[in-house]
């Protein structure tokens, strides 16, 4: 795959990230403990190699969709409420699975690129 093809493939992967086929993770095996009833396991470590703004895309998503409480107002922000209000209780889990796919596939593309030693 040449650089132009790589860019095009990667662009399409990222533009359509929510439509990516979810990475086949299994429940109750380990790694991401979503809540007391759901654990996602078999997440490939190479998925954490895709870095966005200084952290893996998986970690970024987990932080972005974490339940938070504002220290000043005590207002609780629970992204799961949005999921329930929109009748998509699996939205965040599905998003995480898609992010895993996008991360793994992006790293395959990046790792297949010819090394550029020019500086």
pLDDT digits (tens, 9 = 90+) for 63-104: 888 888 888 999 998 888 888 899 988 888 889 999 999 999
When mean pLDDT is compared over 30-34, 37-41, 59-63, 103-107, the highest value belongs to 103-107
In a domain, 119, yes or no: no
Q: What local confidence, expressed as pLDDT, does residue 21 receive?
A: 78
In a domain, 118, yes or no: no
Exposure string over 4-19, b if 16+ CB within 10 A, otherwise e: eebeebbeebeeebee
Per-chain mean pLDDT for the chain: 83
In a domain, 46, yes or no: yes
Q: What whole-number distance in Å separates Cα of residue 71 and Cα of residue 3?
A: 47
Do 104 and 1 contact (CB within 8 A), yes or no? no
The whole-number average pLDDT for the span 7-24 is 80
Q: What is the pTM of this model?
A: 0.67
In a domain, 82, yes or no: yes
Which structural domain, as residue segments, surrounds residue 46?
Answer: 3-112
Residues 49-65: tens digit of each pLDDT: 999 889 999 889 888 88
Q: What local confidence, expressed as pLDDT, does residue 24 receive?
A: 72
In a domain, 83, yes or no: yes
In a domain, 90, yes or no: yes
Total domain count, the chain: 1
Q: Is the pLDDT of residue 31 over 80?
A: no
């Amino acid at each position: 795959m040449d650089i132009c093809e790589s860019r095009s493939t990667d662009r399409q992967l990222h533009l359509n990230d929510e439509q990516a086929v979810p990475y086949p993770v299994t429940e109750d095996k380990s790694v991401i403990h979503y809540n007391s009833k759901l654990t996602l396991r078999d997440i490939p470590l190479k998925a954490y190699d895709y870095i966005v703004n200084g952290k893996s895309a998986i970690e970024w998503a987990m932080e972005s969709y974490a339940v938070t409480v504002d220290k000043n107002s005590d207002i609780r922000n629970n992204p799961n409420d949005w999921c329930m209000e929109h009748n998509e209780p699996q939205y965040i889990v599905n998003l995480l699975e898609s992010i895993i796919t996008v991360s793994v596939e992006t790293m395959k593309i990046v790792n297949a690129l010819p090394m550029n030693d020019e500086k």
